Each structure stands twice: as C-alpha cells, then as structure tokens.
Amino acid sequence: MYAQMIKTDSDRVKDLSEMSPEDRAFQERIDRGEKIEPKEYMPEGYRKTLIRQIGQHAHSEIVGQLPEGNWITRAPTLERKAILLAKVQDEAGHGLYLYCAAETLGVSRDELIGLLHSGKMKYSSIFNYPTLTWADIGAVGWLVDGAAIMNQVPLQRTSFGPYSRAMVRICKEESFHQRQGYDIMIKMAQGTPEQKAMAQDALNRFWYPSLMMFGPSDKESVHSAQSMAWKIKINTNDELRQKFVDQTVPQAKYLGLTVPDEHLVWNEEKQGHDFSEPDWTEFFEVLAGNGPCNKERLAARVKAWDDGAWFHDGLTVYAKKAETRRARQPLAAE
Ligand SMILES: [Fe+2]
Ligand SMILES: [Fe+2]
C-alpha cells in the first residue's frame, strides 16, 4: 500500500505546460484561489480524489459515533450523558453534510455506503481502538477531535466549494467536542488517584493512534503533491502532526499528565517539539483490517443498515407514490 504512494519519475505532478487547455484553465483557477463548483469542469483525477477523500471523511464521522455511543448509557451523570449524546449526534450530522458534498460529484450515498460495508472504502483507523473507560471518552474528545480540528480547519479553504462550506460548520462543532473532552480530562485528572490514573492510562493508549491520524510522512507521496497542487490538501501530514504535538503538550502539562514519549523535548531552534514517530507497522495493520475493533465496527454498521432496511424500503415506496400523485395532478391554472 505505502509502496504505491512513493513518487516515481513517470508518476509525478504535471506542470502547466504539459496540461490540456481545459486542465490548465482549471489549475489556473485553483491557483487564483477560486472555488470549484459541482457542475463546472474538473479533471477526472480531481473528481476521484475528492470522492475518495470526502467519502472516507463521511465514513469516519459515522463510524466515529460507535466508540463514544458505547458510553452514552454509562456516562457518570445526566449532564454528561446529555453532552455526549449531543456530540455523537453532531457526528451523524457531519457524516450527512459530507455524503451530500460527495453526491454533488456524481456518486450516490448508497454507492458510498456499499463501498464502506464491503471494506473497499476506509474510515479513519483511530476508530478501530476500543474505549475502555470513561476517561477514554475524555481522551477521544481532547485528542481525536483535537487532531480532527487540526486537519479540518485548513480544509475550510479547500478548492471544492461544497467540501469547503461543509467544513465551516463542522469545525465550529468540533471545537465544542474538543472542549467537552478536555473538560472530562480536567475532572478526572483532578479527581481521586484512581481517576487520575485512568486519565493517564487513556492518554497513554490514545497518544500514538492520534498522531497516526495525520497519516505517514508525505514527503514522498505523489498523491499528496497532486492534492496540494489542487488545494484539496493544504498542509503536509508532518506539518499538521507537528502543530498538534505543540498544541497538545502544554495541555497535558496543565492536566498534570505525562505524554508517553521519553524522547519528547522542546527544540528551541525549530520552535517546536521533537517527538517519537508512532509505530507505522501498527498503522498499516489497523488499516488492513487487523486493528482491535475493525470487525466489530464494520459489523455494527452493516447491522444498523440491515435493521433499517424496512425503513429505507418504506421511504422509497412512499417517495414513488408521492411522485405518481404529483404527476397525476393537473397543473395549476396560469
Ligand atoms: Fe465530526
Ligand atoms: Fe467531533
């Protein structure tokens, strides 16, 4: 998989002089900072890359409800329950805006969901890790939504109009998600020694999977270079990971928790932290379907879809009947 992403001489980003006139005009629009709208010309590669990226993003929002949904009934107070419920519901909304954005590119929601269910399309590998304790819900909000914000804020400036507009609302909600997670961490870290230990344990388990959320270093990736030229991607994975570490380390300190990295140190010269890379073998294993919860997550989504089949069928029949009724009605007199 990774090998396919390595840049080769024959497989590189074209420059303007090598492009067809349509593609050149398209690239020039992007370079001027214009937004591309659904009915306008776009190269097939741009359309396909966006369908993959927006589709995976939508799937991640939907599958991402599972590890937290798991805790709604077990949240420690009614207030925490209501907050978590609202957060998980927001994620469903994010999934829906994104499926709609993908649909403007000529792919149906059913097709995308079919690809997810058959394992042909991925979602973020972070959601294949279990949430074992209430502190994990804190760590997920703080770190996972935190990493998501880091990724998504620049995407508000992405070149495809519907994706960029969906990101504006999503980012607002994500900051609420991150705060609710950090708030849980504060309570736990300031609680009993057992609660503080739970908070530390959650940080230990979610730290490296959160760093993996930015993807492997993209220096050698031709996909990344092309996506950046198209402004589908604005920053490199390494830039975003660095920003995330620099933002999160002081927050961990404030909690009185230790980031599980003995090589973590402030580097005065680069004005950022030096830190250990996550275990990329683990990342590719999880991506390949062998993480702790991959099978469980996919099975839950497929079951939800199958259990809701009667409802989709009912809606489809109702929509057809309504259409026939409309077609039979005489047009209103002018
Ligand atoms: Fe979200
Ligand atoms: Fe979120």
Over residues 61-90, the pLDDT tens digits come to: 999 999 999 999 999 999 999 999 999 999
pLDDT category at 17 given cuts 50, 70, 90 is confident
Q: How far is the CA of 318 from the centre of ligand 2 (A)?
A: 33
Q: How far is the CA of 222 from the centre of ligand 1 (A)?
A: 27
Lowest mean pLDDT among 8-17, 149-158, 175-184, 253-262: 8-17
Taking 70 as the threshold, does the pLDDT of residue 3 lie above it? no
* DSSP type of residue 331: P
* Helix, strand, or coil (residue 11): strand
Cβ neighbours, 10 Å, residue 29: 16
Distance CA 78, CA 75 (A): 7
pLDDT category at 5 given cuts 50, 70, 90 is very low
| The Cα angle at residue 99 between residues 98 and 102, in degrees rounded to 5 | 85
Half-sphere exposure of 313 (CA within 13 A, CB side): 6
- pLDDT, average across residues 80-105: 96
Beta-carbon neighbours within 5 Å of ion ligand 2: 145, 174, 177
Q: Would you state the torsion angle of the CA atoms of residues 97, 102, 108, 113, taken in this order, to the nearest 10 degrees?
A: -70
Q: How far is the CA of 110 from the centre of ligand 2 (A)?
A: 23
pLDDT tens digits for range 224-266: 888 999 999 999 999 999 999 999 999 999 999 999 999 999 9
- How far is the CA of 123 from the CAs of 115, 224, 319, in angstroms? 11, 18, 31
Query: Helix %, strand %, coil % for the chain, to 5?
Result: 70, 5, 30
pLDDT tens digits for range 159-212: 999 999 999 999 999 999 999 999 999 999 999 999 999 999 999 999 999 999
Q: How far is the CA of 168 from the centre of ligand 2 (A)?
A: 13
What pLDDT is recorded for position 13? 75
pLDDT tens digits for range 194-204: 999 999 999 99
Beta-carbon neighbours within 5 Å of ion ligand 1: 61, 91, 94
What pLDDT is recorded for position 331? 66
Q: How far is the CA of 175 from the centre of ligand 2 (A)?
A: 8
Distance CA 1, CA 287 (A): 10
